[in-house]
Amino acid sequence: MSKSYRVIQWATGTVGSISLRHIIENPAYELAGVLVYNPAKSGVDAGDIVGLPKTGVLATNDVEKIIATDADCVHFAPQFQDIDMVCRLLRSGKNVVSTVGPFFPTEHNAAALKKIGAACQDGGTSFHGCGIHPGFIGDILPMTLTRLQNRIDRIEVFEIANKLKSPSVYIQFMGFGQTPEEFYSKPNVMTGSMEAFSDSMALVVTGLGKKIEKLSEKLELALAKNDIHYDGGVIRAGTIAGEHYEWTAWVESKPFMLFHLYYFLGDDMEPNWNLGESRHRVVIEGDPSIEMTLNALPDVNGDRHFLGITWTALLGNTAMAAVCEAKPGLVTHFDLGVVQPRGLIRKH
């Protein structure tokens, strides 16, 4: 219980900053280093980056310095996947939890996991892909709920994010404010993401002793009826103000597991999905049919904020001690079992 793990935070964006704050504040962890891409952050004390007292640990954009740093674990949260860098970290003797995945073995990530597996064996280290979705709401949560079932016919998972209440870089990254023509003419952060999300579906279907036969996808766009002003910009009338991704895993010739991602800015759009506040929801149809909703408590204004980014950071943070203790190789939720987080009960 009293063991402390030396941890490196890799990138300090939206997710990485929340993780860095946690690593500094959690007595089970000792901050060993911070890798930043932004040259303006290099040389800055980690505490200053997240508005905490100075830590004495200066962020660096020198990758070699980080690779040479003695640490138990790296919380890896860069903007883009970098399997070769993950492998270097693993070979240097550091366990890695990554918000970029891979999350569970599938055909599409086989080559990446082969490289990761070899690096883990060389370094005697472990790798775990983590986050809210993929990583929790569409895999370990429904998998846990299956214990309440006599029979399961269909599982639907909803991520409902009203970005008007919780604006972030994803408004731009996801192509909000573009015309449909612009949107379809170039890739954005969601392009090809069904494959990453299918890791979660594969975990559940495999966990239930079946195989995914095929995946299918649909995308529905909603256009702003009037200009929509949010904290950070304007979505012009007639441009994209809502995106609904629907991904389906087919099992035994039926649509068995469906993921719905609804990202939108308020409700002044066509179509208006009338989704209400941000939340995650899992629906299992069968015997019995059940649902579970997960959301933030309302703030002083009565608003429920979207906690997906916060939870993405914390899901990695709370698993780090267990990943450090795991045997070398890929660590999935099945390997982790019931995670016992360290350092959460403390004075504040």
Ligand X SMILES: NC(=O)c1ccc[n+]([C@@H]2O[C@H](COP(=O)([O-])OP(=O)(O)OC[C@H]3O[C@@H](n4cnc5c(N)ncnc54)[C@H](OP(=O)(O)O)[C@@H]3O)[C@@H](O)[C@H]2O)c1
Residues that bind ligand X (CB under 6 A): 11-16, 36-38, 41, 77-80, 99-100, 131-135, 169, 309, 312
Buried b (16+ CB within 10 A) or exposed e, 244-271: bbbbbbbbeeeebbbbbbbbbbbbbbee
Least Å from the CB of residue 12 to ligand X = 4
Task: Evaluate whether 206 touches 148 at the Cβ level (below 8 Å).
Answer: no
Least Å from the CB of residue 99 to ligand X = 4
| Tokens linked to 10 | 């890799």
Q: Which is nearer to ligand X, 40 or 345 (CB)?
A: 40
How many other C-beta atoms lie within 10 A of the C-beta of residue 288?
Answer: 10
Least Å from the CB of residue 146 to ligand X = 21
**Alpha-carbon span 139 to 144, nearest angstrom:** 8
CA 250 to chain centre: 24
* Strands 254-264 and 240-251, bridge-based pairing: antiparallel
Least Å from the CB of residue 61 to ligand X = 7
**Alpha-carbon span 320 to 20, nearest angstrom:** 13
Task: Indicate the residue type of 37.
Answer: Y
No. of H helices and E strands in the chain? Answer: 11, 15
**Alpha-carbon span 253 to 97, nearest angstrom:** 35
Least Å from the CB of residue 180 to ligand X = 24
**Alpha-carbon span 326 to 337, nearest angstrom:** 11
- Closest CB to ligand X: residue number: 13
Q: Which is nearer to ligand X, 79 or 179 (CB)?
A: 79
Q: Which is nearer to ligand X, 1 or 40 (CB)?
A: 40
Least Å from the CB of residue 103 to ligand X = 7
Q: Which is nearer to ligand X, 268 or 279 (CB)?
A: 279
Q: Which is nearer to ligand X, 77 or 224 (CB)?
A: 77
Q: Which is nearer to ligand X, 316 or 329 (CB)?
A: 316
Q: Which is nearer to ligand X, 12 or 224 (CB)?
A: 12
Q: How far is CA 60 from CA 25, 95, 318, in A?
A: 20, 20, 24
